[in-house]
A and B are shown apart, each in its own frame.
Chain A
Amino acid sequence: MAKPTEYVKHIESYVDSSSSPSQQAASVDALAILLRNDLLTLEALVRELDLYLTTTDSIIRSRGILLLGELLTQLELKPLSDAAIHSLIGFLTERLEDWRALRGALVGCLALLRRKTDVGVVTENDAEAVMKSYMQYLQVQSMGQHDRKLCFELLECLLERYPNAVQPLGNELFYSICEGIDEEKDPQCLILAFHIVEVAAKLFPDPSGPFASYAADIFEILGRYFPIHFTHPKSEDIGVSRDELSRALLLAFAATPLFEPFAIPLLLDKLSSSLPSAKVESFKYLGYCAPMYGSDRMAKHGGALWSSVKDVLYTSPESALSVESESDGGMIFEESDIMVEALILLEGLMQQNSDLLLDMILGDEDINNFICSFLKPWDIHDTPLQLRQQLHSVGRLLAVSAKSSMASCNRVFEKFFPQMMEALGCSVGNHSDESFATEDRALSSRFNYEAVSGNAQSSFAYTGVKGLQLLATFPRSFAPVSLLLFENILLKLVSAITSNFDKKFSWGLELKALVEIGLYIEGYQESEKAATFARIVVDKFVSWISSDEPAMPLSLKMQAICETGMTGISNMLRIVQGMEKAISAKFTQAYVDGNFESVELVIKVLECYSARVLPWFEMNGGSEEVAWNLAAIIWDKIDNSSSVNLTVQNYELLGAAMTAMKQAVRRCSQESQEKIVNRAFRVLSASTLFPLKDSPFATSLSNSEDSYLNHHVDRVSCRDEWIISLYASVVIALRPQTHVQNLKMVLQLFIMALTKGHIPSAQALGSLVNKLPSKTNERHLSQEYGVEEAIDVILTSSIWNFCQSNTLRKCSLFGGGNEIHNTKCLAGLNHTSVHISAIVGLAWIGKGLIMRGHEGIKDITMTFLGVLLENTNNGDFPESCDPIEGKEQEVIPLMKSAADAFHILLSDSEDCLNRNYHSVIRPLYKQRFYNSVMPLLLSSTRQSNSIITRSMLFRSFAHVISETPLSAMISEANKLIPLLLDSLSTLTEDVMHKDVIYNVILVLSAILMDKNGQVAVLENAQAIINQLIGLAAYPHMMVIRETAIQCLGAMSELPYARIYPSRTKVLQAISKALDDPKRAVRQEAVRCRQAWASIASRSLHF
């Protein structure tokens, strides 16, 4: 036996409210061990506790009783004598009255009531006393959450373990249950409450018993919780999930048929909600409750239930086409959760009372009419999606109905099957004896498909095609399809494709089937079939290319051809042969005569080449022969024809030919490229472009050059334009290693062409300077030129001379003769346009240099800057010109093009100078350029005092920053932002700059969003906000206003003290934007206003 001193200290430590929870827990454990090991008897302990249990100090009393309760919980497995249990439970029952010390009594009662029979249990009389005391004293809803939970547990325990004790209490019990669970909101308590209702309801099944009179009240309390709506974001926090709660409520609903008069109307009512989750829940509950309530009770709701099921399944079916059938446009649907639950409900109801429901289903006029309407031949692709969904649903509905029993199966079968078979053209007799449930189910679920296919033989819709495809792709080892049959299938499909092209859906389906068959043959190496396929399908399609038969749109023809070709290399080669033949046959016609159909055909074939065939060969490792052949054919054709008819289509044709040429050449190896480029040069040199070859073009020319150029512009024929464009395309796509012959001449030719505004020539020049080898020793022996020489040739050409004082002059080879050009730029509009072309050309050349990181870019940049600065700062316009008019007309476009040259320099181009065309790209070239050009731009901006010059300089600046990666600029955001704002305010003065403003504001917004830019933004917050307020009313471009307001919204996130002074100003500006004519702006304004208003208070008063 333990000495009193040993355990008294534990008792005192527990009762002492100043000790920590862990100490208290330790004391309980220590005492429990003593008790369990019989070192201390319960009796002695209670005696020792005496004062604590009865003192008038409620805090100590509650601690004392709680200690007793806790100990009893720990001793659940220790045998106790009946007398001890009796006196303990008696004491604790009494203590339920004592609300100040309630918890201990609850814990103790619960522990005693939960004891197993072999260790001594509470007698029924005592349990009844507990129940009575509970009913008399406990006001569950006025307690805290934990106490409520204990109360519910106690009640649950009493109901479950001592049904005989609580049964006599009847009405009072239910009153107390109602009172207890009313308005309960805690999820853990709710689960218990639901369970209590469930157990109580099962305890009193008598329809005239006490539960019956309380069913309405209890259900009113329960019904409020349906459907369970969970506002707790995470269920882990509360230990109960939504599903658990929902399940508990479901069990409570289904606990007794007495709930039926209340539950079914509620659930039907909730079905009217458009919230999918509510519908799913309602169907789930209905499906679960229906069998529990019994068929008699459910019979009267039959009509309502059927109409709600029908509503979901038939009237507005929410099934989605499954992913795989999306492309087939077919009939495979994925049902929504609602439909799944509705079908489960229907299944349950059918099993319960199939006659009643079948009467309703089979008698339903809508369903009957619907089925009848599908019994005549129809086309699936003409059917709207909803009809197809309905068809699917009706199929499912009939399948479920037929499944429930043999009898119902027979009824469904008798009703619909004969009609369907008749519609399909089969006699009913063959099938009349198949009435097994399973088989019929399979049939009925297939009904929809069969009905869909209508008359399969005549319309080749879904089933027909699918079936043929399945047959044809059956592996030989399983079910050999004879070659003859295979042939027939292919013929059938081909003829279907030929005739069906106006029906988009089935056409696609048939083509897909053919492609699948082709892929299958490739995959399984069936050589015989492959030959058949090639003969019947591929050859047939290829023959279409150049014939007018069938009368199918060209784009569909090409689609069919390409897709069948992509099934395998041999098929593709056949098709390529066909296409090459077509180009050979039609190209001359198209290109010389401008014959409309031929032009269209050749354009399509060329597009097909560049978009599908060439990439396919690259992907599938085909030879470069195809690309090489294409290039060769085109050059042959050009070479052989002498003149070209200039039409609009001809330009389209030229575009397609250039794209195809680039795509083809870039895929060729170095040797083939050299062959092509030489071939092309031969054509070029034979053209009328080449009196030039003897002209002293490279030397510094005098005025005569201008007249020469002008003269030449007129003289260049359409054929020459073709030749030079295609030649430029070849050059653009060359590999760096490829050697170009007669480079000097080519360079001169391109220079000549670019002055006429021929962009491809400029791009070709850019590509050339980008790829030419830089050092002499790297050079190929035969390579006559390196990049330095090429640049020299280009830059010494006198077309640049109008930029008088530029740095090009410094180039060593740049000869004299500059002086005479001083006035040239003003000699006439024609010259201005020549000079603009020259600047654009120079920009492309610069792009080539900048990408490889060549030094020459500095000179070119200086040229542009020179144009920007000089024309206004030098007042040396000839007096003959009107000082203002002349200036505006002549100079502004020129300066604008010089500013835009920076855009060409830095932006990425699709057409040339990218990885696809084997460009030499130095890493971080944009960053380098940014770092070198920025100081120049800044100092020029500071020096210039002319408005036009400033705005043009800022335009260049805008181009540079909008093309440079943000990461390169963000470290200097501090310096950048004032400049950005300056440029915005300068650029807004002219409408011409609106696109550029947009780019700048995008950069600004990127800085605002970037973490690293925050400090700089903060420093300039006021200025930024002022500028943005101005832009929020920018009249010429909606996106600028929108972005400005977005940026303002982002600014509201900055620290309060910084932005508060601007708040009123911003809100006033934004309230004007609320009236913007464009909706997008208004919406942004609402958001922005909300953000700014809430930084001070939620009120929008200001």
Chain B
Amino acid sequence: MTLGLINANPVVHAKKERVARPLDDPHADDAVDPLEIYDIVRDIRDPEHPYSLEQLSVLSEESITVDEKLGRILITFTPTIQHCSMATVIGLCLREKLKDCFPAHFKVDIKVAPGSHADEEAVNKQLNDKERVAAALENPNLRQLVTECLYSSEL
């Protein structure tokens, strides 16, 4: 018998169309906006299922806020179930991906949506503690899991 999945049959949602931005507008305000961040993180694979975070409604464009002047990004995600032990892995993936895709001067805050997780405070604390994140990524198993989620070709 294999170890049971945490959420064996999650509700899967459709991928939304990518919003095509108007091209060739030299005066467009090209500041970093939530959609840009969302476009980067929406395709991260769920650690458990061959679906993207977008498909599982873990993330949405509305759950991302960004302040370019202060250089801050805040992502709030919603685990599929209350006691999801994968929440921290998802958070790690988000953090890694943003580190790769945005310049270092952005400060990234990652939180679970209020009330969406049984252990909300602990998870938030863990995800925003630099040292614990660094330590987690030293762990080869976790590192491999994160890498698989980030660069998965299953989707």
Interface residues of A (CB under 8 A from B): 141, 182-183, 223-224, 226, 229, 231, 269-270, 272-276, 278, 1038, 1071-1072, 1074-1075, 1077-1080, 1082-1083, 1086, 1089-1090, 1093-1094, 1098, 1100
Contact = CB atoms under 8 A, between A and B. Distances in A.
B9 interface: yes
B147 A1098 contact: yes
Contacts of A1077: 30
Given A231-B50, A1077-B30, A1079-B36, A272 B11 contact: yes
A274 B14 CA distance: 5
A270 B9 CA distance: 10
B103 A1074 contact: yes
A276 B14 contact: yes
Contacts of A1090: 100, 151
A141 B1 contact: yes
A183 B1 contact: yes
B13 A275 contact: yes
Contacts of A1075: 103, 105
Contact of A269 (B11, B39, B101): B11
A1074 B1 contact: no
B41 to A, nearest CB: 11
Given A231-B154, A1079-B36, A1074 B102 contact: yes
A224 B8 contact: yes
A1074 B36 contact: no
A229 B8 CA distance: 13
Contacts of A183: 1-2
Contacts of A274: 13-14
Interface residues of B, number: 27
B13 A1074 contact: no
B100 A1038 contact: no
A1052 to B, nearest CB: 15
Contacts of A226: 9
22 contacts: A183-B1, A183-B2, A270-B11, A273-B14, A274-B13, A275-B13, A275-B55, A1071-B103, A1074-B101, A1074-B102, A1074-B103, A1075-B103, A1075-B105, A1077-B30, A1079-B36, A1083-B39, A1086-B100, A1086-B101, A1090-B100, A1090-B151, A1093-B100, A1094-B151
Given A231-B50, A231-B154, A1038-B26, A1086 B13 contact: no
Contacts of B104: 1071
B12 A273 contact: yes
A278 B104 CA distance: 41
Given A226-B9, A273-B13, A1100-B100, 18 more contacts: A182-B1, A183-B2, A223-B9, A224-B9, A231-B154, A269-B11, A274-B14, A275-B14, A1071-B103, A1074-B101, A1074-B103, A1075-B103, A1082-B32, A1082-B36, A1086-B100, A1086-B101, A1094-B151, A1098-B147
B130 interface: no
A231 B9 CA distance: 15
A1080 B22 CA distance: 11
B100 A278 contact: no
B40 interface: yes
B46 to A, nearest CB: 13
B48 to A, nearest CB: 13
A226 to B, nearest CB: 8
Interface string B32-67: 100010011000000000100001000000000000
A209 B155 CA distance: 44
Nearest to A270: B11
A182 B103 CA distance: 48
A231 B50 CA distance: 8
A1089 B11 contact: no
A229 B40 CA distance: 25
A189 to B, nearest CB: 15
Contacts of B50: 231
Contact of B11 (A229, A273, A1100): A273
A1075 B101 CA distance: 9
Contacts of A276: 14
B40 A1086 contact: yes
Contacts of B26: 1038
Contacts of B55: 275
A1082 B103 CA distance: 10
Query: Can you list the 5 inter-chain pairs with the closest CB atoms, starting with the nearest?
Result: A1075-B103, A274-B13, A1079-B30, A275-B14, A1086-B101
A1072 B105 CA distance: 11
A275 B51 CA distance: 12
Contacts of A1086: 40, 100-101
A835 B64 CA distance: 60
B69 interface: no
A408 to B, nearest CB: 34
Interface in B112-136: none
B78 to A, nearest CB: 15
Contacts of A1079: 21, 30, 32, 36
Nearest to B16: A274
Contacts of A1078: 30
Contacts of B12: 229, 273, 275, 278
A1089 B100 contact: yes
Contacts of B2: 183
Nearest to B10: A273
Contacts of B13: 273-275
Contacts of A1074: 101-103
A714 B11 CA distance: 79
Nearest to B5: A224
Contacts of B30: 1077-1080
A1080 B13 CA distance: 28
Contacts of B151: 1090, 1094, 1098
A1063 B13 CA distance: 39
